[in-house]
Amino acid sequence: MKTISYLSGLLIFIVFILLYSSFYTVIQGQNAVVLRLGKIVVHNNNEPIVKSPGLHFKWPLIDSIQWFDMRLQTLNVDSSRVLTQEQKYLIVDYYAKWRITNIPLYFTRTGGDPDTTRSLLQQKINDSLRAQFGKRLLNDIISDARANIMSQLELESNKSAQELGIEVIDVRIKRIDLPSQVSLSVFNNMRAGREMVAAKHRADGKAEAEKIQADADAQAVVMVAKAQADAAKIRSEGDAVASKIYADAYSKDPEFYAFYKSLDAYTAIFNQEHKENNYIVLKPDSEFFKYFNHSETK
């Protein structure tokens, strides 16, 4: 009796284990395939059977389950070395967004191993990255060509990644750095270029300043010459008016005019500075003193 009870319990336990192993669950965000003796189970039309989220049945012992994460996944790559067109090394950090689109092909090419997938995908993106950087100059890469590079990377990477049964949604460059051994020389070249531009600006500014100074000097010469001409004209007009006044005065009273002019001459001579060093030698009956003599006689 004990033997029968033991065998019955063992049989029930085996049946329970078989039933338990006959069901499996696919959670949200995953898909699965059934592997029978290591091969994917297919429909009658030879189409692989892909299980969506839910509870499913499989044959125990001969069937196994391979799960696949169907969500959007990220590949981060740091310090990837690439060469530019002028044979300068750059250190590029980037990331890629990808997801599985063809489960049977993905399983065949990668074995469903995420590490293998990331390694193969990184190799394909690196090949595209080298191709894009290899046909561009350093100045183009660090300026406005990055958006175009990322667009081409996404296109080419997605095309090559389809061989793995995956789709590349986006590729973004996070950082572009120069290796430490060439950074100094590149910065020196950039500094030399900026100094050349600054020297050109200074030379252009100096030439423009000299041009402005020359124009100002020319205008000043013209203005001074015009002012001198106007002054000479005004002076000549004044002299003409003065001469006319003198002539009119002389014609009205020549004797008074002569007396007035003599007084001007006396004032000009006797009011000179340093009179102690000035000497005038004249005869007493000189014409210059005629009005003095005339006053004495009177």
Say if 28 falls within a structural domain: yes
- The tokens describing 39, both together, are 């091969």
Is residue 240, in this structure, part of any structural domain at all?
Answer: no
The answer to whether residue 95 is domain-embedded is: yes
Q: Are residues 21 and 64 in the same domain?
A: yes
- Looking up residue 130, the CATH number of its domain turns out to be 3.30.479.30
Residue 191 lies in a domain: no
89 — phi, psi (to 5°)?
-80, 140
Structure tokens belonging to residue 172: 């973004």
pLDDT tens, position by position, 265-289? 767 666 655 556 566 666 666 666 6
The 10s digit of each residue's pLDDT in 8-64 is 777 777 777 777 778 899 999 999 999 988 888 888 888 888 999 999 988 888 888
Q: Which of 69, 92, 122 is the last residue of a domain?
A: 69
* DSSP letters for 98-145: EEES-HHHHHHHHTT-HHHHHHHHHHHHHHHHHHHHHTS-HHHHTTT-
Q: Are residues 65 and 81 in the same domain?
A: no
Q: Which of 162, 177, 192 is the last residue of a domain?
A: 177
Do the Cβ atoms of 130 and 82 come closer than 8 Å? Answer: yes
Q: Are residues 118 and 84 in the same domain?
A: yes
Q: Are residues 85 and 168 in the same domain?
A: yes
Residue span of the structural domain in which 137 resides? 73-177
Q: Per residue in 88-142, pLDDT tens? A: 788 889 999 999 999 999 999 998 898 999 999 999 999 988 888 888 887 777 6
Specify if 242 maps to a domain. Answer: no
Q: Which of 291 and 61 is assigned the larger pLDDT?
A: 61
Query: Is residue 24 assigned to a domain?
Result: yes
Q: Does residue 173 sit in the same domain as residue 83?
A: yes
Widest pairwise Cα distance in the chain:
192
165 plus 87 within the same structural domain: yes
In a domain, 154, yes or no: yes
Task: Give the integer Cα–Cα distance in Å for 96 and 101.
Answer: 16
The pTM of the whole model exceeds 0.95: no
Does residue 194 belong to any structural domain of this protein? no
What is the tally of structural domains in the chain?
3
Q: Give CA–CA dist 121/160, Å, rounded.
A: 9
Residues 6+ apart with CB under 8 A from 267: none
101 lies in the same domain as 153: yes
Name the domain boundary from 44, 69, 94: 69
